[in-house]
Structure 1
Amino acid sequence: MSEVPGPLVGRRILLVEDEYLIAELMEEWLRWAGIEVIGPVPSVEKALELIDGEAEALDGAVLDVNLGRGETAYPITDRLAELGVPYLFVTGDVRIIDHPAHQRRPRLNKPISPAELYRAVESLLASRSPPAR
């Protein structure tokens, strides 16, 4: 956990990434910033289960677009949008975000650095009030 209080400390972020090593690395980076990571999970099914159990407490989500086996994160984004939870994409496939609604979403192209991830999550959450926990 971060020793210095910052804008991300105490925030709860859903992490959806199907590549195990990338998921572990991003989880570690987010935890260093003081974020409580929900997940990581590798699939739509598992992400939706977590969202249904944590929806009111989620501050945002970081999603890989292509989750393997032809699965995309779009059903997850639909549910997050219904709940008003902001999200951003972290993807290695820049072609996959082809729907106009998704093209406007914040996106980081892999590979990413911890600083890029922190800035993107901070920006994503900037309009939301601090967590009341």
Structure 2
Amino acid sequence: MSEFAPLREEPLLTGRRVLIVEDEYFLADDMRSALRALGADIAGPAGDIDDALRILQDGGVIDGAVLDVNIRKQMIYPVARELQARGVPIVFTSGYDKIVLGTEFADVPLWEKPFDHRAMAQGLAGMILHGDPMKQIDPQA
């Protein structure tokens, strides 16, 4: 980075609210930290599907979501469907292969565990800001 390059005045996701649904506490905490580092406000983390649905029903804007595919032996699809119906960008996390998503969610990015939480947060930021999970976000730009 050039010494003359302008620094971003505020983090990428300032004012954006991201829902985290993850039943493993330490993973949820790592994701929360990575997203907060980008300025996001966090909804949750929700540890089960009912909690996630309550967060959605309570109102408030959700700008993006990170969803573990399998939450306490239940598939996250009801939450994913609700978020997609609202036009909210989502990413899945899982220890499973993308084939578990089937055709309904084939276009949703899947981060296979273990993964780099900062890279996932950057990918979600790309989706929220540009509609593109592959867009490289330079936190200093």
The question of a shared fold, defined as TM-score above 0.5 by the shorter chain, is answered with yes
Larger radius of gyration: 2
Q: Which 5+ residue runs of structure 1 have no aligned equivalent?
A: 129-133
Code of the residue aligned with 2:22 in structure 1: it is E
Within 5 Å, which residues of 2 pair with 1:1-133? 5-54=10-59, 56-68=60-72, 70-94=73-97, 97-127=100-130
Residue 131 of structure 1 corresponds to which residue in structure 2? none
Structure 1 outlier segments of 4+, above 4 Å: none
Distance in 2 (alpha carbons) for counterparts of 1:97 and 1:15: 20
Letter in 2 for 1:41: A
Consecutive unaligned residues of structure 2, counting only runs of 5 or more, are: 1-7, 132-141
Question: Match for 2:95: what amino acid?
Answer: G
Write the letter of the residue equivalent to 2:90. Answer: Y
Paired positions, count:
124
Q: Say which is worse superposed, 76-85 or 13-22, in terms of deviation.
A: 76-85
1:76-120 deviations in whole A, cap 9, x for unaligned?
Answer: 011112222121111111256332021211121111223312221
Q: Percent identity of the aligned residues?
A: 31
Task: For 1:22 and 1:35, locate their aligned partners in 2 and report how far apart those are by CA, in whole Å.
Answer: 17
Secondary structure of 1:76's aligned partner: helix
Kindly provide the CA deviation profile for residues 3-34 of structure 1, in whole angstroms up to 9, marking residues without a partner as x. 95132222100000001111111111111111
Question: Please, which moves more after superposition, 36-45 or 105-114?
Answer: 105-114
Q: TM-score, normalised by structure 1?
A: 0.83
SS at match of 1:57: coil
Whole-angstrom CA distance in 1 between matches of 2:87 and 2:41: 19
User: Retained in 2: the 8 A contact 1:97–1:103?
Assistant: no
What is the alpha-carbon root mean square deviation over aligned residues?
Answer: 1.9
Q: Which structure: greater helix fraction? A: 1
Cα separation, partners in 2 of 1:4 and 1:96, compared to 1, 3 Å: farther
